[in-house]
Amino acid sequence: MNNAPLAVFDSGLGGLSVVRHLRQILPGEDIVYFGDTARVPYGIKSRPTVAQFALETASFLLQFDPKLIVAACNTASALALDHLIRELPVPVIGVVEPGARAAVRLAAGKPVAVIGTEATISSSAYVKAIRALAPEQPVIGLACPLFVPLVEEGRGSDDPLVKLAAETYLAPLRAQGVHVVVLGCTHYPLLRDAVAACLGPGVQIVDSGRETSLAVQRHLTETAALSAAAPPGTIRCYVSDNPTRFQRVGSRFLNEPIEYVELVEAERYVNLPRRPSEVR
Ligand code: DGL
């Protein structure tokens, strides 16, 4: 048993869609979350910048002595997971591998599509993770950049702009006989119904956040590190900018009110002595 908290980081508030599943699957765990709201979005940035930001953001959480760090941000997981695992003194679990594993299982050899930010898709991290598990698996990567601002504006699956964006991005996938779609971005689970409506009832949807939460549960079980505390665990959130907006918009992602949010000034986390120049 280990009552230390789980640490979760993201480029902003989207990672709360992963915390939502962690809370359901592991209700006794305490969670500390850091959203880098001052520097969001990561999804249009280069690998060295994302690697540096992700390492600084994750490192801030070490002061809470977490038993595990979850890289909830798909972009950070896709571009910087190896770097984080190398640099951080606690286990790190990203969202790409669990999502890829579920996609391969459900696809049974039929085509898979992965949707995500520009950076996630151009990294090919999901394609590589899927092919590592099933070398012959057909996989299509597709960036849907408008989905993030649409969700943050509060637009849901019934919104006409969302329907238009979904149809514009996803219609080509219908023609390619896609069998499984991976929601490879923290924001996309909030548009799950629009994606499903666009692709039709035969297409299965993988929520990487949920798969990652199940992977965290497996890890904690196998290492005898589950919390012994009675549920519900606590959630403390830290942000690098605009806690009021985080609280308001983030509660939709978390699906519960956010009670504790603290603003973190730059000097408390932007202090990395090394620039990860080796990350290209
Ligand atoms: N959290 C990011 C992701 O899952 C989306 C927002 C961003 O671009 O930073 O890729």
Q: Each residue of 142-197: pLDDT tens digit?
A: 999 999 999 999 999 999 999 999 999 999 999 999 999 999 999 999 999 999 99
| CB neighbour class for 55 (10 Å; exposed up to 12, middle 13-18, buried from 19) | buried
- Assign 139 a pLDDT band (cuts: 50, 70, 90): very high
* Closest protein CA for atom 8 of ligand 1: 43
Residue 186 alpha carbon, nearest atom of ligand 1: 4
In contact, 181 and 199? CB cutoff 8 Å: yes
Q: State the closest ligand 1 atom to the C-alpha of 117, by its place in the atom list counted from 1.
A: 10
CB atoms within 10 A of CB 256: 13
Nearest residue by C-alpha to atom 1 in ligand 1:
73
Judge residue 202's burial from the number of C-beta atoms within 10 Å of its C-beta, 0-12 exposed, 13-18 middle, 19 or more buried. exposed
Q: Which domains does the chain have, with CATH numbers?
A: 6-94+210-268 (3.40.50.1860), 96-209 (3.40.50.1860)
Q: Distance of alpha carbon 8 from its chain centroid, rounded?
A: 10
Q: Is the predicted pLDDT of residue 280 greater than 60, yes or no?
A: no
Cα 4 to Cα 30: distance, rounded to the nearest angstrom: 7
pLDDT at 274 over 70: no
For the annotated catalytic residues, the residue numbers are: 73, 185
Burial of 188 (0-12, 13-18, 19+ CB in 10 A): buried
pLDDT of residue 223: 98
* Mean pLDDT of the 124-151 span: 98
CA atoms of 66 and 80, how far apart (whole Å): 20
pLDDT at residue 114, as a whole number = 98
Q: Which residues line ligand 1 (CB under 6 A)?
A: 10-12, 14, 40-43, 73-75, 116-117, 120, 148, 185-187
Say whether 37 sits in a helix, a strand or coil.
Answer: coil
Over residues 38-92, the pLDDT tens digits come to 999 999 999 999 999 999 999 999 999 999 999 999 999 999 999 999 999 999 9
pLDDT at 272: 55
Task: Give residue 90's pLDDT.
Answer: 97
Kindly give the number of the ligand 1 atom that is closest to the alpha carbon of 76: 10
Contact criterion met (CB below 8 Å) for 11 and 216: no
Length of the chain (residues): 280
Q: What is the pLDDT of residues 209-244, one digit of tens each?
A: 999 999 999 999 999 999 999 999 999 999 999 999
Q: Say what the pTM is.
A: 0.96
- Nearest CA, atom 7, ligand 1: 41
Q: Assess contact for 69 and 95: CB atoms under 8 A.
A: no
Least confident interval from 132-141, 215-224, 266-275 = 266-275
- Determine the pLDDT at residue 87: 97
Task: Please give the distance, rounded to the nearest whole angstrom, from the Cα atom of residue 145 to the centre of ligand 1.
Answer: 10
Q: What is the pLDDT of residue 276?
A: 47
DSSP secondary structure code for residue 66 in this structure: -
